[in-house]
Structure 1
Amino acid sequence: MPIQPTVDAADFLDLGDPAVVADPYPHLAALRSTAPVAWHSGLGVWLASGHAEAGAVLRDRRLGRVFAPRTPEADWDTFNWLHADSILDSEPPKHTRLRRLVAGAFGRGHVQRLAPRIRALAEGLLADLPDGQFDVIEHYAEPLPVLVIAELLGVPESDRHHLRPWSQAIVRMYEVGRTPADEAAAREACGAFAAYVEELAAQRAQAPGDDLLSDLVTARDGSDRLSAHELVATAVLLLNAGHEASVNGFGNGLHSWLTAGDRQGLDVADDAAVSRMVEEFLRHDSPLHLFERTAKEPAEVAGVLLEPGDKVAALLGAANRDPAVFADPDRFDAQRDPNPHLAFGAGIHFCIGAPLARLELEISVRTMLARFPDLEVAEALRRPTFVLRGFERLVVSPRA
């Protein structure tokens, strides 16, 4: 029988409660054990908290990323087309076309060739650390992904300081508790970000370089190519998603490991062990917690009858701690294997930047722990956000 909305997920997951946002996992566990799929009256969306249910939501082709333009459209014009013309917020056949063009550019060795440069950037950041305690977010986890994605796209060093503020302003729009000031900041950031990428793309069209943006400018599939808006939207998405997930994935995972009651050591010379550690970083305290889909046609998904326009979201953090899939799911297990987490999503919207994120996390973990094999947390301050979960500050101390 299809599930009826007899359980209100809002009774378990009040996103206006700072305690829930600070530590959602007990609340997610209670919701998952009561109803792995439940209606949330406050959000107006079905929430899938079980691993199987969330996976079904992510993979079902009858559900899509249906972008609803914000109004008044004159105020939100750039924000709207940056989303409508991106891979993330489009569906086949447009999504298939965009992903093919972008994947072709990614497949030209840009990710692989970055490995030595990522190591050099990581080592340079560690060399500039203050003595004693340091904020790993400010001095390492935050600047490294910005530098990496900037190098990938060919953003000049003199302009890179703009990227993180623009990105943070835009992604605040994905949170439940955004304010009018947040919305105004997002509109301003979209305009500035888009104008900057348009100018940079025009320069690459005249003088191509050895970077991904140059490849996107010239990307073709037969007679097809990216439109001007699609090109800019793709670059902005890669800049936003390419470092937001890495900053939060590293900070969240490091905190989970350092504060584990039975903290396990890591042999940084063991590539397989480092890889397992990174996958557990992503699973245990996922950087992205909610991914929404919309029914494009009548469908029964994860036991729920949906009509066109109905919304359902996969709760990735909840799915990644489902005891039906992960033994002792609240424990950080650096050697967990297999680890079929959903941190990068699933289905046609599986993160196109996952190989880069994994490479970057593996190098950043190995490089930092080779220099600081024994750290402890001195201070941890969470960002007050649920959808994109991360730390504002994470101060660590090298043990004597």
Structure 2
Amino acid sequence: MTDSQQPFFDQLDWFDEQDCARLDEGLAWARAQCPVVHTGFGGGMHVVTRYEDLVTVASHPEVFSSTMPGLATVPVALPPIDVDPPLHSDFRAFLNGPFTRAALARYEPVLEKHADALIDGFVADGQVEFVSRFAVPFSAGALAKVVLDDDNEERLQRAVDAVTAVSVQNTPESFAAVAMLAAELMAEREREPRDDFLQSVVDATVEGGRPLTQEERLGVVTVLLLGGLDTTRGALSYIAKFLTEEPGLEARLREPGWARGDLDEVLRYTSTVSVMGRVVVQDNDLLGVPLAKGDRIAVHWRSGNRDTARFDHPDSLDFERNRNPHLAFGIGIHRCVGRHFARLQLEIGINRLLARLTNFRLVPDSVVRSAVGISVGAPEELHLEFDQVGAQP
């Protein structure tokens, strides 16, 4: 992409397949030539593309507000994602505890059993459509067992469908469908209280003791549905695809402790939540360009993770990086509350797959379909062949 191709950003549609296929190239041009580049999408916004500028935005919530976290208008509340300080701290106070690695450790046997049950369903076939047969149901099942305490399979399928629609369409109708599911779950807890995470949302207080409003409760659960289903599914599918492409990767992922380092490089490279929105609330030139109160900006985490000023040869997987301060979970006060849950799912999912399957390759003549929108590039359809571990040739 050259200077003369600025019209790409002028006409950029984050949810168009052809535009998304060119986006990494366009972002590389922007980082080099116009790091805060303007796009006409959604009435106009500035795209922040360089690592250090993204850190600046995250460090100044008093200037760059999170009250508009979507690329397009979000018709429902999404706390704590769309909440600024000081209220943001109150939400994180009751959300952080259940999502520590220590708190989640007790679910490891449950998630391992869940992964094995899914593998049982296709292991004898020697091939699988990975996204629909493993990545989606594993992510949905983990969310159901750890966060929602919900065994209603029909409702879980509706959740998967609704969250997928938000990711690829970003319409008011898709958000409304997720919010309706949240309303169902909240209504059940109010009728029949339980000792679980969702009950803690019902019982939570903020601002010195006031209960959450109904809109805030629904928003918290909506955030959990969106984050717990879509992002982990995308990362799992990326890893499965890489296993067919990267020589030696399977052996690396079989090493004990691989998730303490190699997983971070996968997360940096894939950046499943690639972009989110902010709104300028004070006139400023902190990013080197004049920004006015009311301007909308897109913080492009994926672009920051490909910034040559921060990472050597960032457009390739490099598992020998000494430091990897990636932005895959964001940075600053809004760093993803569910990051430990996501890492746990990815580690268990891959470990159980590799305990039973090996020699992954694409089904001949199959097409790998990739996502658009905030999960740009993540495989949405991935047909794999494999061998069973220990099987005779």
* TM-score bucket (shorter structure): 0.7 to 0.9
**2:105 pairs with 1:112:** yes
CA distance in 1, matches of 2:51, 2:179: 38
Is contact 1:22–1:382 with CA below 8 Å preserved after alignment? no
**2:277 pairs with 1:292:** yes
CA distance in 2, matches of 1:258, 1:275: 22
CA distance in 2, matches of 1:68, 1:238: 15
2:390 corresponds to which residue? none
How far residue 118 of structure 1 moved from its aligned partner, in angstroms, is 1.3
How far residue 148 of structure 1 moved from its aligned partner, in angstroms, is 0.8
Q: Between Structure 1 and Structure 2, how many residues are aligned?
A: 374
Q: Deviations over 1:76-120 (max 9, x none)?
A: 9xx73x32x521112123222222222244459542222221111
SS in 2 for 1:251: helix
CA distance in 1, matches of 2:17, 2:69: 28
> Residues 291-330 of structure 1: matches in 2 within 5 Å?
291-330=276-315
CA distance in 1, matches of 2:239, 2:301: 15
Residues 173 and 88 of structure 1: is their aligned pair in 2 closer, same or farther, counting only changes over 3 Å? farther
Q: Deviations over 1:330-377 (max 9, x none)?
A: 212244342211011111111110111111111111111222232112
SS in 2 for 1:292: strand
Is contact 2:275–2:299 with CA below 8 Å preserved after alignment? yes
> Residues 323-338 of structure 1: matches in 2 within 5 Å?
323-338=308-323
| Segment of structure 1 superposing worse, 260-269 or 113-122 | 260-269
**2:247 pairs with 1:247:** no
1:18 corresponds to which residue? 17
SS in 2 for 1:301: coil
AA of the residue aligned to 1:346 = I
1:101 corresponds to which residue? 94
SS in 2 for 1:387: helix
1:149 corresponds to which residue? 143
Residues 194 and 42 of structure 1: is their aligned pair in 2 closer, same or farther, counting only changes over 3 Å? closer
SS in 2 for 1:150: helix
SS in 1 for 2:368: strand
The one of 204, 213, 238 aligned to 2:224:
238
AA of the residue aligned to 1:388 = S
The one of 160, 184, 190 aligned to 2:156:
160
AA of the residue aligned to 1:268 = R
> Residues 1-400 of structure 1: matches in 2 within 5 Å?
9-11=6-8, 15-16=12-13, 18-22=17-21, 24-42=23-41, 44-61=44-61, 62-67=63-68, 80=75, 82-83=76-77, 86-106=79-99, 110-129=103-122, 131-152=125-146, 153-158=148-153, 159-174=155-170, 182-187=171-176, 189-190=177-178, 192-203=180-191, 206-209=192-195, 211-220=196-205, 223-260=209-246, 263=249, 265-271=251-257, 273-378=258-363, 379-389=366-376, 390-399=378-387
Residues 257 and 328 of structure 1: is their aligned pair in 2 closer, same or farther, counting only changes over 3 Å? farther
SS in 2 for 1:91: coil
Counting aligned pairs with the same residue, the percent is: 24
AA of the residue aligned to 2:326 = H
SS in 2 for 1:305: coil
Residues 99 and 380 of structure 1: is their aligned pair in 2 closer, same or farther, counting only changes over 3 Å? farther
Is contact 1:299–1:306 with CA below 8 Å preserved after alignment? yes
Is contact 1:105–1:216 with CA below 8 Å preserved after alignment? no
Is contact 1:217–1:231 with CA below 8 Å preserved after alignment? yes
- Structure 1: unaligned runs, 5 residues or longer: 1-5, 70-75, 175-181
AA of the residue aligned to 2:122 = L
RMSD: 2.9
CA distance in 2, matches of 1:35, 1:281: 27
1:179 corresponds to which residue? none
Q: Deviations over 1:152-206 (max 9, x none)?
A: 22123443222201222334453xxxxxxx544543x145313312322214xx4
TM-score normalised by structure 2 residue count: 0.85
SS in 2 for 1:274: helix
AA of the residue aligned to 2:165 = A
CA distance in 1, matches of 2:87, 2:230: 25
1:178 corresponds to which residue? none
Residues 218 and 12 of structure 1: is their aligned pair in 2 closer, same or farther, counting only changes over 3 Å? closer
